[in-house]
């Protein structure tokens, strides 16, 4: 298919060095002058008259040449200026849209002189704006250049495809011949370029590539073809792979058929299941979960629970990710939603129940009423399982106006954990109907319930709460004392540290007292209660703290800030501290000052997360020495598993405060999507009430902001 030999090219005669800005300006001037009528030049017509005359008489070819010359001049004027890079990129693309010989020659010369090769991308994109078959030889050569990056190769392939005809055939022919025609990196770049075109004819011509290579090669191909939908030859190739491929290859191909609503998917599911009587591996199960959610076959629903239950094993993060990804697909199948609400949530296997809960997270409004009924039934005798369901599905259940009554029933419970969950969810719902319940809970034995009560009353202010809050001032310490201080400030607009001082103040002001305007007190930070130790400026008020420190490879980068504020000069920054050094120094200083009655742990994380101790330990002399020595020896390596670090911290029932430090977005772990991590932490915290303080070094992170805001913590950005 197509011609694969060298292409004949017309000879190009040009000087070795061309100053395009000067030539373009001269050419533009010559074109305009040559287009003026002779009489206007001879009669001494004004410049304006001459310009008007030119506009009336310039022929299309001359106008196009003038436009090309001006475009080259405009780009040349800024292309070497670093402060004008964005403008230069725009001008280059506009230049590429002009179909003129001078533009083609100009782009050819720029392409030949680009060093390093990555600079070629911008010129290749300009070349691709219109078909330029004269440049096929140069672009084809660059596609196969061993020094060119993958991005350059893909841009080269994309440019070739815009040339149409022989150039497109040449790319497709190379791909159909497989590894005999080109190296893997060239084929990968060309495949990506063809798929990116969305051209059904071009993509269909690539169907034979699925007959080539090993099973691993075919898996890679299927992943590349993920966005391709309803191209008959590709769908047929997928169907063949379901029948004849390895299990993982068959599962991926089957899921892709389900995604494009191919009618063969339902029957092929039976063929695939018959090939794995002992059950699938984790990677196969993850593919099956998405496909089953799309096929809408009730006979396959039990498999979603069976495969989903595999997520209970912490090593099977792919299953949990698959369930989350499948939730919006499952939400479109009302029968599946009913099945999950009834059979899934009542399943004897905890993993299956959790799978059902994940699949129900995006249930539509019409599915909420029966779901509330099922949760309501479970909450009649609320146990841990029922509370987990209520906390996990609250965002969905809250769509039903009757859900508030169930939460009020929880808040009235004699069980402290149940009452804390009820108050927490009512606070999220914005309901102020449990103020008296919260007031009565201020003296509860369980700190989680007292925290839930203080936070509820902080949100819903009333003068009657002030003396009750004052009565707790000398009864609390650590983090809860700080939150109590915030609650009183929100109610009064003032601060005192001792109960007697508060009582004296209240005797003077209680008569006719009016709550301060909400805007003047909202967002107030809790007092430190006299505590002087801090971590990156965030006071250490809690006595039960887990420090989560990022050890990913990027923590080797240099920090930009200086201790007293401001930024380091570039030459100083090269010699400055690394991010990991700053983190270790801050943590060492904090641990050295923490009182001995504080309990702490350090959880370093990169690809995984491993606490230094199995649980919090008090900072006596021996433990302080051990933890300081541990911090001193920390070394960076790997990715950023923020989810794993938070999960490890929440696993310790003693922890009430977390300090999370990172310099990047999550890159590894069971969950890497920032909003999904924040959703999970919010769900956990409906039962735990843990404060999460966050520190971003070199990254101003929305995830860190949300984690801090939703948990009552502080966010600190360190440049």
Q: How many CB atoms lie within 10 A of CB 413?
A: 16
Same domain, 621 and 539: yes
CA–CA dist 257, 251 (Å, integer): 10
Structure tokens at 394: 């609250």
What are the residues whose beta carbons fall under 8 Å from the beta carbon of 4, sequence distance 6 or more?
170, 173, 174
Handedness of CA 529, 651, 649, 700 (dihedral sign): negative
Is 79 domain-assigned? yes
Burial class (CB in 10 A: 0-12, 13-18, 19+), 114: middle
Is 278 domain-assigned? no
Q: For 430-556, where are the alpha helices, taking DSSP H only? A: 435-440, 447-459, 465-470, 478-492, 499-509, 518-521
Structure tokens at 178: 């497989």
What are the residues whose beta carbons fall under 8 Å from the beta carbon of 167, sequence distance 6 or more?
133, 136, 140, 160, 161
Q: Write down the pLDDT at residue 164.
A: 86
Q: What is residue 7's DSSP assignment? A: P
Q: Which residue has the tokens 């590709």?
A: 234
Same domain, 187 and 61: yes
Structure tokens at 658: 């977390």
What are the residues whose beta carbons fall under 8 Å from the beta carbon of 201, sequence distance 6 or more?
none
Q: Which of 521, 542, 569 is the last residue of a domain?
A: 521
Consecutive sets of 10 residues in the chain, 719 residues long: mean pLDDT of each? 39 41 49 44 46 60 93 92 90 94 94 82 94 94 92 95 92 88 91 94 94 91 94 96 93 95 92 88 93 92 93 75 92 93 89 90 87 88 85 90 94 94 96 97 95 96 97 93 93 93 96 90 57 84 95 89 47 67 94 93 95 96 96 94 96 96 92 90 94 95 96 93
CA–CA dist 191, 196 (Å, integer): 8
Q: Which of 166, 177, 171 is nearest to 191 (CA)?
A: 171
Q: For 199-331, where are the alpha helices, taking DSSP H only? A: 200-204, 215-224, 232-244, 247-259, 265-274, 282-295, 301-308, 317-330
Same domain, 410 and 474: yes
- Could you tell me the CATH number of the domain that includes residue 711? 3.40.50.410
Q: Write down the pLDDT at residue 42.
A: 43
Is 214 domain-assigned? no
Same domain, 436 and 493: yes
Is 395 domain-assigned? no
Is 273 domain-assigned? no
3-state SS track over 67-130: HHHHHHHHHHHHCCCHHHHHHHHHHHHHHHCCCCHHHHHHHHHHHHHCCCHHHHHHHHHHHCCC
What are the residues whose beta carbons fall under 8 Å from the beta carbon of 516, sequence distance 6 or more?
492, 493
Q: Which of 459, 486, 521 is the last residue of a domain?
A: 521
Task: Provide the domain count of the chain.
Answer: 3
What are the residues whose beta carbons fall under 8 Å from the beta carbon of 346, sequence distance 6 or more?
353, 374
Angle, helices 317-330/350-359, rounded to nearest 10 degrees: 40
Same domain, 482 and 616: no
Q: How many Å from the N-terminal Cα to the C-terminal Cα in the chain?
A: 56
Q: Which of 521, 550, 573 is the last residue of a domain?
A: 521
Is 236 domain-assigned? no
Same domain, 488 and 558: no
Q: Write down the pLDDT at residue 2.
A: 39
Q: Write down the pLDDT at residue 316.
A: 66
Same domain, 644 and 503: no
Same domain, 654 and 539: yes
What are the residues whose beta carbons fall under 8 Å from the beta carbon of 161, sequence distance 6 or more?
167, 168, 171, 193, 194, 197, 199, 202
Same domain, 513 and 554: no
Same domain, 477 and 594: no
Starting at the edge strand found earlier in the chain, the sheet holding 599-605 runs 617-618, 599-605, 544-550, 657-662, 691-697, 715-718
Prediction pTM value: 0.71
Q: Which domain holds residue 577?
A: 534-718
CA–CA dist 327, 361 (Å, integer): 7
Angle at 229 between CA 227 and CA 235, to 5 degrees: 115
Is 466 domain-assigned? yes
Same domain, 514 and 559: no
Which H/E stretch holds residue 716?
A: strand 715-718
Structure tokens at 13: 């005669």
Same domain, 490 and 620: no
Is 20 domain-assigned? yes
């Amino acid at each position: 298919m197509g011609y694969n030999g060298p292409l004949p090219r017309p000879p190009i005669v040009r000087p070795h060095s061309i100053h395009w800005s000067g030539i373009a300006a001269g050419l533009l001037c010559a074109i305009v002058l040559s287009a003026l009528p002779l009489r206007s030049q001879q009669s001494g017509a004004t410049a304006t008259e001459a310009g008007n005359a030119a506009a009336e008489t310039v022929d299309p070819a001359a106008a196009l040449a003038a436009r090309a010359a001006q475009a080259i001049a405009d780009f040349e004027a800024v292309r070497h200026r670093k402060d004008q890079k964005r403008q230069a990129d725009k001008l280059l693309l506009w230049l590429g849209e002009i179909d003129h010989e001078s533009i083609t020659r100009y782009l050819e010369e720029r392409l030949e002189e680009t060093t390093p090769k990555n600079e070629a991308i911008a010129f290749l994109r300009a070349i691709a704006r219109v078909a330029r078959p004269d440049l096929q030889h140069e672009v084809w050569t660059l596609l196969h250049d061993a020094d060119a990056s993958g991005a350059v190769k893909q841009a080269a392939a994309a440019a070739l495809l815009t040339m149409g005809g022989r150039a497109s055939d040449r790319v497709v022919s190379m791909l159909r011949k497989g590894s005999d025609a080109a190296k893997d990196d060239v084929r990968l770049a060309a495949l990506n370029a063809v798929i990116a075109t969305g051209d059904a004819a071009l993509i269909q011509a690539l169907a034979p590539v699925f007959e080539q290579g090993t099973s691993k090669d075919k898996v890679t191909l299927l992943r590349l073809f993920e966005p391709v939908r309803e191209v008959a030859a590709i769908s047929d190739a997928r169907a063949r792979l379901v029948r004849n491929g390895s299990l993982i290859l068959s599962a991926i191909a089957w899921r892709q058929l389900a995604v494009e609503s191919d009618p063969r998917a339902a029957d092929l599911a039976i063929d695939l299941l018959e090939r794995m009587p002992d059950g699938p591996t984790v990677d196969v199960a993850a593919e099956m979960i998405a496909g089953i959610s799309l096929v809408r076959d009730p006979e396959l629903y039990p498999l979603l629970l069976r495969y989903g239950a595999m997520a209970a094993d912490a090593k099977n993060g792919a299953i949990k990710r698959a369930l989350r990804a499948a939730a919006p697909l499952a939400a479109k199948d009302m029968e599946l939603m009913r099945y999950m609400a009834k059979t899934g949530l009542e399943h004897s296997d905890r993993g299956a129940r959790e799978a059902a809960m994940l699949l129900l997270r995006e249930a539509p409004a019409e599915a909420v009423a029966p779901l509330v009924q099922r949760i309501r039934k479970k909450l009649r005798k609320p146990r841990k399982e029922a509370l987990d369901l209520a906390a996990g599905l609250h965002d969905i259940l809250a769509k039903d106006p009757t859900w508030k009554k169930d939460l009020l029933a929880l808040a009235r419970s004699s069980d402290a954990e149940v009452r804390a969950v009820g108050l927490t969810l009512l606070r999220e719902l914005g309901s102020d109907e449990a103020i008296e319940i919260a007031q009565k809970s201020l003296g509860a034995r369980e700190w989680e319930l007292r925290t839930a009560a203080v936070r509820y009353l902080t949100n819903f202010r009333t003068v009657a709460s002030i003396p009750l809050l004052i009565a707790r001032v000398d009864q609390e310490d650590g983090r809860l004392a700080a939150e109590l201080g915030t609650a009183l400030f929100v109610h009064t607009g003032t601060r005192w540290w001792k109960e007697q001082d508060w009582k004296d103040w209240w005797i003077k002001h209680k008569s006719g007292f009016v709550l301060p305007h909400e805007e003047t007190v909202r967002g107030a930070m809790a007092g430190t209660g006299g505590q002087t130790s801090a971590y990156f400026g965030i006071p250490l008020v809690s006595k039960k703290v887990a420090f989560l420190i990022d050890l990913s490879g990027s923590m080797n980068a240099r920090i930009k800030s200086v201790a007293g504020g401001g930024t380091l000069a570039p030459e100083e920054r090269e010699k400055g501290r690394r991010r990991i050094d700053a983190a270790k120094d801050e943590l060492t200083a904090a641990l050295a000052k923490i009182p001995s009655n504080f309990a702490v742990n350090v959880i370093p994380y990169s690809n995984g997360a491993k606490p230094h101790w199995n649980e919090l330990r008090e900072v006596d002399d021996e433990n302080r020495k051990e933890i300081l020595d541990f911090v001193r020896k920390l070394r960076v390596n790997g990715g950023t598993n923020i989810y794993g670090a938070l999960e490890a911290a929440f696993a310790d029932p003693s922890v009430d405060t977390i300090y999370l430090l990172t310099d990047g977005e999550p890159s590894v772990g069971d969950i890497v999507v920032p909003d999904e991590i924040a959703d999970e932490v919010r769900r956990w915290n409906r039962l735990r009430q843990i404060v999460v303080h966050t520190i971003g070094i070199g990254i101003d992170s929305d995830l860190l902001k949300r984690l801090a805001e939703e948990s009552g913590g502080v966010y600190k950005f360190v440049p």
